[in-house]
Copies of this chain bind each other. A is one copy, B any other.
Amino acid sequence: MDNLALCEANNAPLTPITFLKRASECYPNRTSIIYGETRFTWPQTYDRCCRLAASLLSLNIAKNDIVSVLAPNIPAIYEMHFAVPMGGAVLNPINTRLDAKSIAAIFRHAQPKILFVDRNLETLARATLHLLPDEEQRNLLVIFIDEPDRPKRISSNDPLDYEELIRRGEPSSSSVARMFRIQNEHDPISLNYTSGTTSEPKGVVVSHRGVYLNALSVIMGWEIGTFPVYLWTLPMFHCNGWNLTWSVAARGGTNVCIRHVSAPEIYKNIELHGVTHMCCVPTVLNILLQGNPLDMSQRSTPVQVLTGGSSPPAALVEKVQRLGFQVLHVYGLTEATGAVLFCEWHDEWSR
């Protein structure tokens, strides 16, 4: 018997962080995240996010402070989509494909208080920091994200890392209550930069209400049922993964996180975990064609694929569909809080 978070929200502020608490209560045995050998349940993800948020508060993160993250689709960046706004701060996910100069420009504009960095991107992060004025460097606390199964740090001289913040975070019941007490649904939840194809990256502030409604819009437009198994091929730094970060929690789904997007990695995860949904920019549709495809004809339903941006060529869509994928085309933009147009299939088109 599941309480849809929507209803209590009639008068309460609309915010997607309620999806997390609901998932931990309604789906206590369901897997929230799979990443290699690492697995979490929804209650574990909820607990980790509460701890991280408590740690952010203890680091004196104040309302509307910016917390940046430079990471591929690893569990930490997923958790930060909840934990950072639970701490009252604003998430700023950074495109890992940008060069140091572009990232430095974003930092000068966004003025983050904390930067979380995936350990494998340490070189890029350090190059970026060197481009910043000394004072900005001093004001920016850098915290590295190591693999979740890495041994704990031994000496207290080691710098703080992500897992350490989660371990030391101790949410009291009053601080948890505070985390969910969003004052105004129009408050910012994330600061996203456009990819900068036309000029300097532009900052787009999205609100709790905006992403809540868009996360539901994606569920409706793509007809995502309960318990999707969602493969993270689309970067979460790309417009919050088209808000699917939050949609998957709303549906009690499973996030399959992968560090590298390649055909073998995609097909391996589809087979291992029974992936039902994934988002692919046209480039990734091409990657699907390269692989050594599984025999997906045994599956009762195809893997649902959302593709965005410019319309992919019909021939490409046909080839991908023959491999066992069902493609839905959407259009959206960072400035509009994600996907805004869905090409819903009309039965008569099949004739």
Query: Which residues of A line the B interface, CB within 8 A?
Result: 1-4, 6-7, 9-11, 26, 186, 207, 209-210, 213-214, 216-217, 219-221, 223, 225-227, 250, 331, 336-337, 340-345, 347
Which residue on B lies nearest to A6, using beta carbons?
B217
**B2 A341 Cβ-Cβ under 8 A:** yes
Contact of A1 among B214, B216, B343 (CB under 8 A): B343
Residues of B within 8 A of A331 (CB): 1
Q: What's the least CB distance linking A292 to chain B, in Å?
A: 29
Contact of A341 among B3, B186, B345 (CB under 8 A): B3
**B217 A4 Cβ-Cβ under 8 A:** yes
| Prevailing SS type, chain A contact patch | mixed
**B220 A7 Cβ-Cβ under 8 A:** no
Given contacts A217-B4, A220-B220, is CB(A227)–CB(B347) below 8 Å?
yes
Q: What's the least CB distance linking A227 to chain B, in Å?
A: 7
**B340 A213 Cβ-Cβ under 8 A:** no
Q: What's the least CB distance linking A157 to chain B, in Å?
A: 47
Residues of B within 8 A of A1 (CB): 331, 341-343
Given contacts A343-B2, A344-B2, is CB(A7)–CB(B337) below 8 Å?
yes
Subset of 14 A-B contacts with CB under 8 Å: A1-B341, A1-B342, A2-B342, A3-B341, A4-B340, A4-B341, A6-B214, A6-B216, A7-B213, A7-B217, A7-B337, A9-B213, A10-B210, A223-B226
Given contacts A10-B214, A209-B10, is CB(A4)–CB(B220) below 8 Å?
yes
**B213 A10 Cβ-Cβ under 8 A:** yes
Which residue on B lies nearest to A331, using beta carbons?
B1
Given contacts A9-B213, A10-B214, is CB(A340)–CB(B3) below 8 Å?
yes
| Docked CA distance A13–B3 (Å) | 25
